[in-house]
Chain A
Amino acid sequence: MDAVVSGIVLAGLYALVGQGLVLTFVTTRTLNFASGELLAVGGFLALGVGSWSWLPTPGKLAVVVLVGGVLGAVVHRWLVLPFARGEHDSRWLLSTVGVSYVLLNLFTNGEGANPQRVELTRNPGTVELLGVGVNRQSLVIAVIAVVVTLALVAASRWTSGGVVMRAVAEDPRTVALMGISPRLVGAVAYAGATALAALAGVLWASEVGATPGLGVHVLVSAFAVAVIGGLTSFWGPLVGAVVFGVVVQVSAYELGALWGQVAGLVLVIVVLVLRPEGLVGRRVEAKL
């Protein structure tokens, strides 16, 4: 029971980052393999703005999220758009991997590999939940993940934005003819996704400290979560994260932390065999 509850709560972090992956995939059919390092950048930004005593905490948080958004738009403009010309061009995948190494290396040289304490959004201690002591910070992240998911689902269902997002992915040319810029939609999606990653970075760094490698394992888990849930649905990351979190935590509890991670991979593979489109992804037979 302990493992189940803590698994569900831990899943929030992966869901938050996974949501960013879905956001860009739904709109542009690409995703950012440097999300993990951008998450770490969020952690270091929090460290940087932490000393601005004139700005209240929400303002500091807004600065980090905003900078994250700008970085996302930059990544889209300079590392994704030029490398995604047409359906068969998947250079974007490698260009974002390349930049992830640049960031990782830059921050390792500049800041060192040791964790640095981040105070910006610290919520120390535990809360009692279903009779289990739950890490307060993880709970905050999980709540945010649920709120973000609900917001995205609502936006995609009840606003024109949702239609635009899906339409851009299906047929960018026609959308362009209707006066909507697919580039702009892509840039906004990347900005949103990276803002989410930066937010996750601040929250997670406040818990475990800022390190250059902060995002590597988070991204791997977020990938797993996105594949399990399905890359085409905003419910995907949340559903995937809960399943993934529980499986990983329960196996870690039984077999040790290392094999918990391996069990997560096995879960990904099992889902791919049984439901390649993910647990809640839509299976669409595309007309060629």
Chain B
Amino acid sequence: MSTTVPSSSLLDRVRRGEAGRDLGYLVVLLAAAAWIALPALSGDGTTLAGTQTTAVVVAVAVAAAGLNLLSGHARLISLGQGAFFAIGAYVSAYLAVDSSLHPVLAIVVAIVVTAAFGGLLALCTMRLRGPAFAMVTLVVAILTERVLAEWAPLGRLSGYPNTLDHGSGLMPPIEVFGTSLEPPLFAGTEATVVVAILVVAVVALVGYRNVARSAWGRSLHAIGTSEHLAAHLGVNVFGRKVAVMALASAYGALGGVFYAQVFAHLQPESFTMLLSITMILAVILGGAGTVAGPLVGAVIIVLLQRTDALTPLVDLQRQVSDTWYLSTPGLIGVLLVLTLAFLPQGIVGGLGELVHRFAGRGAGPAAVVSTPATTPASTPASTPATTSEVTQVDADDVLLAVRGVSKSFGGIQAVRSAELVVRRGTIHAVIGPNGAGKTTVANLVTGVYGIDGGEITFDGRRIDGRRTHAIVRSGVARTFQTPLLFTHASAMENVLAGFPDTGRLPLVRAWVKDPGQYRRTRELNARAAELLALVGLGEDGHVEAGSLPYGKQRALEIARALASDPRLLILDEPAAGLNTAETAELGRLMLTLREQGLVMVVVEHHMDLVTQVSDEVTCMESGAVLAHGTAAEVLAEPAVVEAYLGVEMEETA
């Protein structure tokens, strides 16, 4: 009886599932916090060392969490997170002691300043691909180390604050609401600052997880996979890279602030390059791009460094040679290389894979609603049949117009004064031999390259010169010649990345995760399930995209493109690699979509498909348009036949 659940309560269950997991995470964090806080509050002298160590674990975990968003999700490898940690620590201390700002205000300013510095650095370096970003972060880390050790106002090697300059080697404890937040330094004093640190850390880590699991986090993952893809999902890649760097720097600074509060004194030796390496190792060892990874990694690394866990290993080496052996920093280096070689997905990532493998399909993420048989084709694509009825008369009839567009790369002219006019309600095929410039035209339309001459209009507005994400947001979606998917994520996740939220959800809302976000997640899950069903993947929502057969990967790309609710869909060789049955299925899907008002440009070699679906055909050769008309007209054109088959002139003679 209970099997006939109305779909709303089914979605309720999904929502409760998500809220339940969020609550579970919070409970785990709070339990860990309580476990750390209780001994700290006893004030017992024997607990001091342990409390300091756990507090450092918390500080490094927060910094590593921020670094994970940057280096794990967006794959921008930073070797300078330790520098931001140091800047946060020193700036907050300096403002409180030397500028006598209220310590809480000093902390806020320190975090903002560090985030701004990180953002500025990103603003200057993010146009580059390749290792330049890592190189610059390394330079920053080494220089920070040097400034701390050599600049007089920061106390040089005497540390900050120091007795000589400030009369005391310790920062005064923060006073809030009549309570003094004491550091875990003196026996008999309750280490109240630890409680404050834990409260802030829990909030920060909840926000971190919210971001990582939101559409915003998905956009970072997209940038890490392919910036080309991310831009086509409507993500302002440059802006987002700057934002994630600022966010990561803020988390680094917060970790540094914790550190400063725990020890009430800063020594430059604590903030060497090795600290940055420790943090990136925490991310990689725990599992880059996983939520819990950096936290697990931070616990392991800090305990290895601050306890005598590595001593037996060092002693063992010293029995062999008392001069040539590795101590902690060297062993950390070895651990880094070994992790990269044997556990590149990290502990959490590796465990996740194991669970996935053994639990099989059944234990897929709860997000995969077993499509509650809602009418699949009821809601898709915004504009219904109305546009397709208005045929062939208006001047507004044209949706996309490429006029006289040229493009060369170095000395090679890839496209020369190309013309492509796509009318509303139609499917327009672009054919031509390999290297004719078809994909380049697609790339020019979506703003991947700037054009050298001519103009491109979409819906009557010039779009040439605009950036990819802006063009995509105005209603253009596309698939790629070789499918660009998140191969390690589920099909469902891939479709979810296609929604406009990926590019548009503001960071603050992602961080806070207001109740509206839960509602939106439900909507998107339901809609994604519909889209999967529409392209024939209704059963495959929880399957890893990379393990889908090629034909289904192509279909998945189309579903993702449709998620943005586009007015124009550009399909780049959608039938390449498909078998006959799959190609026919693709043709039917395209005709269905056309009925719903979607305009399509299809770059294709498959003449069967072209004749089956296209209203108009443009044939290109060597970057120029060779012929244009209906499929029958174009394919009958001798020049087209010659371009494809290379017919010699002698035959016509």
Q: Which residues of B contact A224 (CB under 8 A)?
A: 139
A88 x B326 contact (CB < 8 A): no
Could you list 16 A-B pairs, sorted by A, with CB under 8 Å? Answer: A83-B341, A94-B280, A101-B336, A109-B326, A216-B273, A220-B138, A220-B139, A224-B139, A227-B135, A258-B150, A261-B146, A269-B121, A276-B128, A285-B409, A285-B410, A287-B440
Q: Say whether A121 faces chain B, with CB atoms less than 8 Å apart.
A: no
Q: What 1/0 mask marks residues of chain A from 134 to 174 whose CB sits below 8 Å from any chain B CB? A: 00000000000000000000000000000000000000000
Nearest B residue to A96 via CB reads B337
Contacts of A227 in B (CB 8 A): 132, 135-136
Chain A residues within 8 Å of B323, by CB? 109-110
Q: How far is the CA of A231 from the CA of B138 in the complex (A)?
A: 16
Could you tell me the distance between the alpha carbons of A105 and B324 in the complex, rounded to whole angstroms?
9
Residue A3 at the chain B interface, CB threshold 8 Å: no
Q: Which 9 A-B pairs have the closest CB atoms?
A: A105-B330, A101-B333, A98-B336, A102-B333, A98-B337, A98-B333, A110-B324, A223-B135, A91-B340
For B611, the chain A residues whose CB sits under 8 A away are none
The verdict on B131 contacting chain A, using a C-beta distance below 8 Å, is yes
Q: B414 to A287, Cβ gap below 8 A?
A: yes
Contacts of A29 in B (CB 8 A): 130
Interchain CB contact under 8 A, A106 and B139: no
B333 engages A99 (CB within 8 Å): yes
State which of B142, B409, B414 has its C-beta within 8 Å of the C-beta of A216. B142
A residues whose Cβ falls under 8 Å from a Cβ of B: 25, 29-31, 33, 79, 82-83, 88, 90-91, 93-95, 97-102, 104-106, 109-110, 216-217, 220, 223-224, 226-227, 231, 258, 261-262, 265, 268-269, 272-273, 276, 284-288
Besides A258-B146, A265-B143, 10 other CB < 8 A contacts?
Answer: A88-B225, A93-B134, A95-B336, A97-B336, A101-B274, A105-B331, A106-B324, A109-B324, A227-B135, A261-B143
Q: Given A31-B131, A227-B132, A265-B139, A284–B340 Cβ distance below 8 Å?
A: no
Q: Identify B327's interface contact among A90, A98, A109, CB under 8 A.
A: A109
If the complex has contacts A88-B75, A110-B324, are A285 and B130 also in contact, measured as CB distance less than 8 A? no
CA–CA, A97 and B330, complex, Å: 11
Asked whether A94 and B341 contact (CB < 8 A) given A109-B327, A223-B139, A224-B139, the answer is: no
Q: How far is the CA of A142 from the CA of B449 in the complex (A)?
A: 42
The answer to whether B77 and A93 have CB atoms under 8 Å apart is: yes
Q: Does B97 contact A (CB under 8 A)?
A: no
- Tell whether, in the assembled complex, residue B143 and residue A262 are in contact, meaning their CB atoms are under 8 Å apart: yes
**Which residue of the partner chain, among B125, B142, B344, contacts A269 with CB atoms under 8 Å?**
B125
Q: List residues of chain B with CB within 8 A of the CB of A258.
A: 146-147, 150-151
> Shortest distance in angstroms between A77's beta carbon and chain B's nearest beta carbon?
13
Report how far A79 CA is from B79 CA in the complex, Å. Answer: 18
Which residues of the other chain, A, contact B140 by a CB distance below 8 angstroms?
A: 265
Contacts of A79 in B (CB 8 A): 337
CA gap between A88 and B226 in the complex, in Å: 8
B164 surroundings in chain A (CB, below 8 A): none
Contact A105 B329 (CB under 8 A): yes
Task: Please name all residues of chain A whose beta carbon is closer than 8 Å to the beta carbon of B327 when the two chains form the complex.
Answer: 105, 109
B102-142 vs A: 1/0 string, CB under 8 Å?
A: 00000000000000000001001101101110111011101
Q: Which residues of B contact A110 (CB under 8 A)?
A: 323-325
* CB-contact partner of A231 in B130, B228, B334, under 8 A: B130
Determine which residue in A79, A94, A265, A276 has the highest number of CB atoms from chain B within 10 A of its CB, and name it.
Answer: A94
**Among residues 140 to 196 in chain B, which have CB atoms less than 8 Å away from a CB atom of chain A?**
140, 142-143, 146-147, 150-151
In the assembled complex, how far is the CB of residue B348 from the closest CB belonging to chain A, in whole angstroms? 17
Q: Are A287 and B409 in contact (CB under 8 A)?
A: yes
Q: Closest approach, in angstroms, between the C-beta of A18 and any C-beta of chain B?
A: 11
In the complex the two chains form, is A93's CB within 8 Å of B409's CB?
no
A93 CA to B142 CA, complexed, in Å: 17
Inside 8 A of B150's CB, which chain A residues have their CB?
A: 258
B561 touches A (CB below 8 Å): no
Interface of B is mostly: helix
- B212 to chain A: which residues have CB within 8 Å? none
Query: Is A109 in contact with B132, judged by CB distance below 8 angstroms?
Result: no
CB of B635 closer than 8 Å to a CB of A:
no
A273 touches B139 (CB 8 A): no
B586 within 8 A of A: no
How many Å lie between the Cα of A25 and that of B134 in the bound state?
Answer: 14
The chain A residue with its CB closest to the CB of B150 is A258
Q: Is B124 a contact partner of A109 (Cβ separation < 8 A)?
A: no
Interface assignment of B53: CB less than 8 Å from any CB of chain A: no
CB distance from A113 to the nearest CB of B (A): 13
Q: Chain B CB within 10 Å — which of A98, A110, A226 has the most? A: A98
User: Which of A90, A97, A220 is the one whose CB lies under 8 Å from B277?
Assistant: A97
Determine whether the beta carbon of A91 is less than 8 Å from that of B132.
no
Within 8 Å CB of B532, what residues of A? none
Chain B residues, CB < 8 A from A269: 121, 124-125, 136
Instruction: Determine the chain A residues whose CB is within 8 A of the CB of B127 once the complex forms.
Output: 272, 276
Taking the closest CB of chain B, its distance from the CB of A65, in whole angstroms, is: 23
**Is B332 among interface residues, defined by CB-CB distance under 8 A?**
yes
Whether A104 pairs with B337 at a CB distance below 8 angstroms is no
A95 to B623 alpha-carbon distance, docked (Å): 44
* A95 partner residues in chain B, CB cutoff 8 A: 336-337, 340-341
Minimum CB–CB distance for A170 against chain B, Å: 12
Let me know if B548 is at the binding interface, CB within 8 A: no
CB <8 Å contact, B325 and A98: no
In the assembled complex, the Cα of A262 lies from the Cα of B148 at a distance in Å of 12
Is A272 within 8 A of B124, CB to CB? yes
For B324, the chain A residues whose CB sits under 8 A away are 106, 109-110
Q: How far is it, in angstroms, between the C-alpha of A101 and the C-alpha of B226 when the chains are bound?
A: 31
Minimum C-beta distance from A33 to chain B (A): 7
Q: How far is the CA of A83 from the CA of B332 in the complex (A)?
A: 18
State the CA gap A109–B320 with chains docked (Å): 14
Q: Shortest beta-carbon distance, A232 to chain B, in Å?
A: 10
Contacting residues, chain A, for B225 (C-beta < 8 A)? 88
Query: Residue B563 at the A interface, CB < 8 A?
Result: no
| CA gap between A76 and B142 in the complex, in Å | 25
From B143, B146, B340, B440, contact of A94 by CB (8 A): B340
Q: Which residue of B lies closest to A30 (CB)?
A: B131
> Whole-angstrom distance from the CB of B467 to the nearest CB of chain A?
15
In the complex, the answer to whether A262 meets B449 with C-beta atoms within 8 Å is: no
Q: What B residues does A217 contact at CB under 8 A?
A: 142
Question: In this complex, what residue of A is CB-closest to B326?
Answer: A105
CB contacts (< 8 Å) of A31 on chain B: these are 131
| A104 surroundings in chain B (CB, below 8 A) | 329-330
In the complex the two chains form, what is the Cα distance from A269 to B327 in whole Å?
A: 36
- CB contacts (< 8 Å) of B387 on chain A: these are none
B-side contacts of A101, CB under 8 Å:
274, 277, 329-330, 332-333, 336
Residues in chain A near residue B337, CB distance under 8 A: 79, 95, 98-99, 102
Q: Are B147 and A262 in contact, with the CB atoms below 8 A?
A: yes
Residues of A within 8 A of B131 (CB): 25, 30-31, 90, 93
Which residues on B sit within 8 Å (CB–CB) of A93? Answer: 77, 131, 134
**Contact A268 to B136, CB < 8 A, known contacts A100-B333, A101-B277, A261-B143:** yes
Q: Which residues of A sit under 8 angstroms from B334, Cβ to Cβ?
A: 98, 102
Considering the chains assembled together, what is the distance between the CA atoms of A227 and B334 in angstroms? Answer: 28
A-side contacts of B151, CB under 8 Å: 258
